[in-house]
Amino acid sequence: MIWLDDETFWRFPTECNYTFWYAPAVRNLVRMVKFASYQEKGDNMEGAARVRTQNSYIDLVSFTPGA
Q: Domain range holding 8?
A: 2-59
| CA-based R_g, the chain, Å | 17
Q: Let me know how many helices (H) and strands (E) the chain has, helices first.
A: 0, 4
Entry pTM: 0.75
Q: Is residue 65 part of a domain?
A: no
In this prediction, residue 47 carries a pLDDT of 65
Determine contact, residues 23/30, Cβ cutoff 8 Å: yes
Q: What is the pLDDT along the chain (67 residues), one digit of tens a residue?
A: 899 999 999 899 999 999 999 999 999 999 999 999 999 987 776 667 789 999 999 999 999 988 7
In this prediction, residue 41 carries a pLDDT of 87
Domain count, the chain: 1
Q: Is residue 64 part of a domain?
A: no
